[in-house]
């Protein structure tokens, strides 16, 4: 199939490479000349395990190309994916300006040679399927003003479907090839058939797995869920909101565990074994972050607001998370009493491991708060130091290139992001160079015994 993917960001690029790997001719359209230049050379401008090699491989196979010509790519395509960004506006609503520009441009580029399927892959509010359809029609009309579409047998024919994305940063390729489900919202049976055909190798798991993304043991077929447009849009928001709520629940229980002398890790295990609850996303810590959870929860609240519908659970999900980020500050105060003049080392900056993404990262909130309270902040992230320095020039952090240099002269070290290399640090070595031997485990991933054996004080979350 000929595919056009508009927007070569996280979702667009991964989607493009995966569909190309499955044997489709994919043209990825990227408006930023800087990003386009890198991609044409096979250089991925952000960190995602395996993606660099994968993109290079699919370019070399001839199935993936990059362009800035939306018109040319749309004209060739059978299926057109919209995968541009929808960041949050200050009021919590998503900024749909890129979707708007792209939808109209698609309309302007369509011709009557075949019926196109336009796929909303970007996370967009409920009702956006209809809105995109209207914008594409406007683009069609602006390009070729005619009195009535039906009067032109050659006039462009298209349908809009919603195909939300559920991939996680850090495991984007694996999530794309081995998803829990594929959701397609459509009002057109033919479009559903085309989408099912496109995803057939994934649904039936008939493709040869890439060497770096082996098929998980016992992984079989993937449910293909067909819904109406609005339901597909709501599935995306609800899934992220539910996951965020689950984490906030674990964090709220963590606080209670500390009061009553229980251990949230044991509680999470005990409740997670109930299949109706499930054990994933119950890890208490410094809270959730990233580009999706906060954005999607607030977009969902905005939709509800339009209908004067209360969203108490969503509000609590956000407020528990805001409070949770500062729990480590409280622990530092309990142990060190005064934070003014202290030096605190942050292990990890990215919002989670295996990514250099700093959007809504708890580490940034913690760093700002510590600086506000008069402490000095050092940080070591295996991939995100440089990006943090660029994005937050006013954040007075001393960046370090190892855990040992980080620990030097620190009054406390706080693990914020659970990068694998932090799990087995040489605590004895670190303890020797620290001013005060305090370790706050903001993700409950360290061995308390190892830290204590090194003569240090260990504080976790919820135990
Ligand atoms: C999330 C969803 O998991 C994806 O399904 C979705 O496609 C994606 O958003 C999106 O909308 O694009 P992502 O933001 O990449 O993916 O990261 P997650 O792995 O979901 O983690 C989100 C945050 O929750 C991280 O800060 C992580 O540290 C935190 N977390 C996760 C916890 O604090 N505890 C947990 O138990 C799990």
pLDDT at 421: 97
Question: Is residue 388 annotated as part of the catalytic site, yes or no?
Answer: no
Q: Whose CA is nearest to atom 37 of ligand 1?
A: 281
d(CA 165, CA 121): 6
Which ligand 1 atom sits closest to the C-alpha of 290? 14
Which ligand 1 atom sits closest to the C-alpha of 239? 5
pLDDT at 226: 98
pLDDT at 439: 98
Which ligand 1 atom sits closest to the C-alpha of 168? 15
User: Which strands, in side-by-side order, build the sheet including 115-120?
Assistant: 64-67, 25-29, 2-6, 79-82, 115-120, 157-162, 182-185, 224-227
From the list 18, 257, 292, 410, the catalytic residue is 292
Q: What distance in angstroms lies between residue 168's CA and the mean position of ligand 1's atoms? A: 6
Handedness of CA 328, 332, 334, 339 (dihedral sign): negative
Q: Which domains does the chain show, CATH number per domain? A: 2-227 (3.40.50.720), 236-322 (1.10.1040.10), 325-459 (3.40.50.720)
pLDDT at 166: 96
H or E segment to which residue 217 belongs: none
The two structure tokens encoding residue 48: 């995602």
Q: Ligand 1 pocket, 282 CB below 6 A? A: yes
Q: Whose CA is nearest to atom 29 of ligand 1?
A: 288
Return the residue matching tokens 């993109």.
Answer: 55
Per DSSP, 204 falls in state T
d(CA 107, CA 144): 10
> Is 220 buried (19+), middle (13-18) or exposed (0-12) by CB count in 10 A?
exposed
Q: Ligand 1 pocket, 355 CB below 6 A? A: no
Q: Whose CA is nearest to atom 35 of ligand 1?
A: 281
Q: Whose CA is nearest to atom 2 of ligand 1?
A: 168
Q: Ligand 1 pocket, 237 CB below 6 A? A: no
Buried (b) or exposed (e) across 246-278, using 16+ Cβ within 10 A?
bbbbbbbbbbebbeeeeebbebbeebbeeeeee
pTM (2 d.p.): 0.94
SS3 138: helix
Q: Ligand 1 pocket, 166 CB below 6 A? A: yes
Q: Whose CA is nearest to atom 5 of ligand 1?
A: 166
H or E segment to which residue 244 belongs: helix 229-260
pLDDT at 149: 56
Q: Ligand 1 pocket, 131 CB below 6 A? A: no
Q: What distance in angstroms lies between residue 281's CA and the mean position of ligand 1's atoms? A: 8
Which ligand 1 atom sits closest to the C-alpha of 11? 12
pLDDT tens across the length of the chain (463 residues): 999 999 999 999 999 999 999 999 999 999 999 999 999 999 999 989 999 999 999 999 999 999 999 999 999 999 999 999 998 888 878 899 999 999 999 999 999 999 999 999 988 888 899 999 999 999 999 987 655 555 555 789 999 999 999 999 999 999 999 999 999 999 999 999 999 999 999 999 999 999 989 999 999 999 999 999 999 999 999 999 999 999 999 999 999 999 999 999 999 999 999 999 999 999 999 999 999 999 999 999 999 999 999 999 999 999 999 999 999 999 999 999 999 999 999 999 999 999 999 999 999 999 999 999 999 999 999 999 999 999 999 999 999 999 999 999 999 999 999 999 999 999 999 999 999 999 999 999 999 999 999 999 999 999 9
pLDDT at 125: 87
């Amino acid at each position: 199939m000929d595919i056009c993917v508009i927007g070569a960001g996280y979702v667009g690029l991964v989607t493009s490479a995966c569909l190309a790997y499955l044997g489709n001719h994919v043209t990825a359209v990227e408006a930023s000349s800087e990003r386009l230049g890198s991609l044409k050379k096979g250089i991925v401008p952000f960190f995602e395990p395996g993606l660099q090699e994968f993109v290079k491989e699919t370019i070399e196979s001839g199935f993936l190309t990059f362009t800035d010509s939306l018109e040319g790519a749309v004209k060739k395509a059978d299926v057109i994916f919209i995968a541009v960004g929808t960041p949050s506006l200050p009021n919590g609503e998503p900024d749909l300006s890129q979707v708007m520009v792209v939808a109209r441009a698609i309309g302007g580029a369509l011709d009557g040679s075949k019926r196109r399927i336009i796929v909303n892959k970007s996370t967009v509010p409920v009702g956006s399927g209809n809105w995109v359809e209207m914008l594409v029609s406007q683009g069609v009309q602006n390009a070729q003003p005619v009195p009535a579409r039906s009067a032109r047998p050659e006039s462009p024919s298209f349908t809009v479907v919603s195909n939300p994305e559920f991939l996680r940063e850090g495991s984007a390729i694996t999530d794309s090839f081995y998803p829990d489900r594929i959701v397609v919202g459509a009002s057109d049976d033919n479009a559903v058939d085309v989408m099912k055909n496109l995803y057939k190798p994934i649904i039936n798991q008939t493709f040869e797995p890439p060497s770096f993304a082996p098929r998980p043991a016992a992984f079989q077929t993937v449910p293909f869920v067909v819904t109406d447009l609005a339901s597909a849009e709501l599935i995306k928001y609800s899934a992220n909101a539910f996951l965020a709520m689950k984490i906030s629940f674990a964090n709220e229980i963590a606080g209670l565990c500390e009061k009553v002398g229980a251990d949230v890790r044991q509680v999470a295990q005990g409740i997670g074994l109930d299949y109706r609850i499930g054990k994933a996303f119950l890890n208490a810590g410094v809270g959730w972050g990233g580009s999706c959870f906060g954005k999607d929860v607030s977009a969902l609240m905005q939709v509800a607001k339009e209908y004067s519908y209360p969203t108490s659970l969503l509000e609590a999900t956000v407020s528990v998370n805001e409070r949770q980020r500062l729990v480590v500050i409280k622990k530092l105060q309990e142990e060190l009493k005064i934070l003014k003049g202290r030096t605190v080392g942050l292990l990890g900056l990215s919002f989670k491991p295996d990514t250099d993404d700093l959007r809504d990262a708890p580490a940034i909130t913690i760093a700002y708060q510590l600086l506000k309270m008069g402490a000095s902040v050092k940080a070591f992230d295996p991939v995100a130091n440089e990006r943090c320095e660029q994005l937050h020039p006013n954040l007075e952090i001393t960046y370090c290139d190892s855990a040992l240099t980080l620990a030097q002269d620190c009054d406390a070290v706080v693990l914020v992001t659970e990068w694998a290399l932090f799990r087995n640090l040489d605590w004895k070595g670190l303890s020797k160079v620290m001013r005060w031997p305090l370790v706050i485990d903001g993700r409950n991933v360290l061995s308390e015994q190892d830290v204590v054996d090194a003569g240090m004080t260990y504080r976790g979350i919820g135990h």
